[in-house]
Amino acid sequence: MIFKKTRVLIVDDSALVRRVLSREIEKDPSFEIAGLAPDPYVARDIIAKEKPDVMILDIEMPRMDGITFLRKMMQSVPIPTIIVSSLAQQGSQLAIEAMRCGAVDVVTKPCEAYSIEEVIPDLIRKIKSAALVNVRKMQQQAGASAYAKITSFAATTNKILVIGSSTGGTVALERILPTFPVNCPGTLIVQHIPAGFSRSLAERLNTTCDARIKEAENGDSVVPGQVLIAPGGYHMWLKRDGGRYEVKVGGGDPVHYQRPAVEHLFNSTAEQAGKSAVGILLTGMGADGAEGLLKMRNAGAHTIAQDEATSVVWGMPGAAVKINAAEFVLPLDKIVPKALELLR
């Protein structure tokens, strides 16, 4: 059996960055460099000839910026793309826009080019994840007509909805959160996202939703009508104080290479909310959240996993299904109506 390597195209105007990235990436025997491009025009020609599996793309480049190039390429030749840019740190709205245009992940490039080696371990993991992404499926979800909005939700007491997602999750969240009613149950979300991007994601989602969407802060109350998104780079836990729920936000070691990790949120929900919660595990690479979802189910909570057909990567939800953690396995558009029905 012949082992097929993942072919990677690097598009960056810095010769030093291209050289270091190509050298370090090729140290992994599962990769080979399909080409090095100093700008999108050269990249376009390489793509036509070499047909790479994954593209690493800078934002700020001569002749055409990376966001514009990404948008054009996704219309003609969709390629799983990872944004590697220092601009992502300076203005995280650009990173969110890149993900809306089809990027599967973002890595913040150090401001000094000679420090690029610092991001290599994270980048290697994300390339492996990106190679498994069905980009056309992401586009279909992003371009689909909006799901039907649920206009009301029965009054609840101490009901919690928790959601975990990763690769493809930002697109999935953009599809489902606008369907939430204004009085939705208190909702907590862990989306695998780098530090600095979660606030922009929350602010963007807040403009499209009846419910209030915000980046979680330590001590925030979990209340109806509000959705809290874990801040990138920090874990988030649910804590109960009498009849009141709140979130705790803090550091700690990554779990499944992730911080925030879905496991922390789901495990704490199982312990603090038990059968008063519903857990949802959406599209994503790896297995983060699967064991936590099982713990929730064992504690009496209802649990839902996104089905394979609508998942960009059926890693996390697939892992949950494999260990019987998911009570229901549903397509993306059926998940929110079912969750609200279970919480009524």
3-state secondary structure of 243: coil
Q: Is residue 166 annotated as part of the catalytic site, yes or no?
A: yes
Among 39, 58, 165, 192, which one carries the catalytic annotation? 192
Rounded CA separation 288/254 (Å): 11
Q: Is residue 53 annotated as part of the catalytic site, yes or no?
A: no
Structure tokens at 49: 């000839």
Q: Is residue 192 annotated as part of the catalytic site, yes or no?
A: yes
How buried is residue 241: exposed, middle or buried, by Cβ count under 10 Å (0-12/13-18/19+)? exposed
Among 39, 105, 288, 307, which one carries the catalytic annotation? 288
- The H helix count followed by the E strand count for the chain is 13, 14
Structure tokens at 270: 């199982």
Among 129, 165, 166, 198, which one carries the catalytic annotation? 166
8 A C-beta contact, residue 15 and residue 36: no
Rounded CA separation 69/60 (Å): 11
Contacts of 302 (CB under 8 A, 6+ apart): 277, 278, 279, 327, 328, 339, 342, 343
Please give the angle made by the CA atoms of 251, 254 and 259, to the nearest 5 degrees: 65
Cα dihedral value 174, 266, 214, 244, nearest 10: 140
**Closest by alpha carbon to 293, among 270, 275, 315?**
270
Catalogue the active-site residues. Answer: 166, 192, 288
